[in-house]
Amino acid sequence: MEGEGGGGAAVRWWCSARLGEPWTWQWQAYPGVWLFVLSLGATYAWAVLRLRPNGQPTSDIAPDKRPTSAREIALFSLGLAVLWAGADWPVGVLAAGYLLSVKTVQYLLIGYIGPGLLLLGTPRWLLRRMIRGRVAFAVARALTRPLIPLAVANGVLVATHLPVVVDNLSGSQLWTFVLDLIVIGTGFIFWWPALGRLPELHAMSYGARIGYLGLNLFLPTVPASFFTFSQYPIYALYELAPRVSGISAVADQRVAGLLMKTCGGALLFGTMSVMFFRWYRHEADAEPEGVLTPSAQGGEGRRA
């Protein structure tokens, strides 16, 4: 990590702040990011191709009969692409040392959207295999209860945005890597109760999931408000970084606050809406046929 902030001769494997170096749109390679994304993809491909619920190889099963759907593979691939976009150049470098607004975008990508897609793209049978162990099952069970994920997700959100953390650790590739991993891992913890992928873990009802997401809609408002309404920059890192496209540090910080509130809010609100309609459909499907319900006009009954 030493010498990372300085000259360009040092090998850079993960996107960290290039302290004091003017921003350039010249592409730079970050092999650590590629390796990370490829490892995830390769592990998934191996699991999907070589494993099946009962542990037998799937090589002799026709592709359309395999227990992992094309939709799941597509979602997982999309999740990987989102993680890659959020961690690699240019987003990763801009986020690490130049623009707080891009750091916010990165947080949404690698801390919310990416993990959510990866979780949706992981087939249930594979999730079950992953938590077969007693400890893993106990952890998965505990995380299904919303209070722990709520506390972890918002605790990590606040901790990774503390000035002492951002200003002192962003210049180190190792620390940036660790923090990015924590953010990604927290994304899985955040979505676990909300997506309720394994019913046997006593997943929450749709209403409770909507309530859980609603709470998460509210809590990030606090840091977002700090960003939006602070008169001066909060982070020395972004305040003293060479300017990118002439945007001032305060303007950048306000954009970050607005992005956190609007885009983060839209993501959660959109998910809540989908859940609401699923809930509605679920209730409608569960309703017995032939039940008479009064019409809005109070006249003749209609068949539901």
Partner 1 sequence: MSRSLLALVLAGTASGSLAACAPGSDREPEDLRGYLLGEPLAKPEFTLTSTDGTSFDFRRATDGFVTLVFFGYTNCPDICPVHMSSLGTVVATLDPRVAERIKVVFVTTDPRRDTPAVLHAWLDHFSPSFIGLTGDSTTIVRAQESLKLAPAVIEKAAAGDTGYAVGHSALVVAFSPDNQAHLVYPFGTRQEDWAHDLPELVRQGWRARAGAAPR
Give the span between the Cα atoms of 157 and 145, in whole angstroms: 19
Give the span between the Cα atoms of 51 and 60, in whole angstroms: 11
- The only residue of 249, 255, 256, 260 in contact with partner 1, by rule CB under 8 A: 249
55 binds partner 1 (CB under 8 A): no
Report, in Å, the least distance between residue 246 CB and partner 1. Answer: 6
7 binds partner 1 (CB under 8 A): yes
Nearer CB in complex with partner 1: 108/241: 241
| Binding residues for partner 1 restricted to 205-244, rule: CB under 8 A | 231-233, 236, 239-243
167 binds partner 1 (CB under 8 A): no
- The only residue of 81, 143, 182, 250 in contact with partner 1, by rule CB under 8 A: 250
Interacting residues of 238 by C-beta distance below 8 A, sequence separation 6+: 97, 98, 99, 100, 103, 249, 252, 253
Interacting residues of 19 by C-beta distance below 8 A, sequence separation 6+: 5, 6, 97, 171, 241
133 binds partner 1 (CB under 8 A): no
Nearer CB in complex with partner 1: 5/79: 5
Question: Cα–chain-centroid distance for residue 53?
Answer: 27
- Do the Cβ atoms of 208 and 146 come closer than 8 Å? yes
- The only residue of 205, 248, 293, 295 in contact with partner 1, by rule CB under 8 A: 248
Nearer CB in complex with partner 1: 233/264: 233
Q: Say which residue the tokens 């002439």 belong to.
A: 246
Q: Which stretch binds partner 1 (CB under 8 A): 17-25, 56-64, 122-130, 268-276?
A: 17-25
Report, in Å, the least distance between residue 9 CB and partner 1. Answer: 12
63 binds partner 1 (CB under 8 A): no
| Binding residues for partner 1 restricted to 69-98, rule: CB under 8 A | none
Beta bridge partners of 296: none
Report, in Å, the least distance between residue 231 CB and partner 1. Answer: 6
Give the span between the Cα atoms of 294 and 296, in whole angstroms: 7
Report, in Å, the least distance between residue 6 CB and partner 1. Answer: 8
Q: How many CB atoms lie within 10 A of CB 183?
A: 23
Nearer CB in complex with partner 1: 27/232: 232
Report, in Å, the least distance between residue 30 CB and partner 1. Answer: 22
Give the angle subtended at the CA of 1 by the CAs of 161 and 239, to the nearest 5°. 40
- Do the Cβ atoms of 121 and 75 come closer than 8 Å? yes
Question: Cα–chain-centroid distance for residue 173?
Answer: 21
**Site residue total, partner 1 (CB under 8 A):** 18
Report, in Å, the least distance between residue 24 CB and partner 1. Answer: 9
- Do the Cβ atoms of 192 and 127 come closer than 8 Å? no
* CA 109 to each of CA 88, 106, 272: distance values in angstroms, whole numbers, following the listed order: 12, 5, 18
22 binds partner 1 (CB under 8 A): yes
Which tokens hold the place of 35?
């390796």
| Residues forming the site for partner 1 (CB under 8 A) | 6-7, 20-22, 231-233, 236, 239-243, 246, 248-250
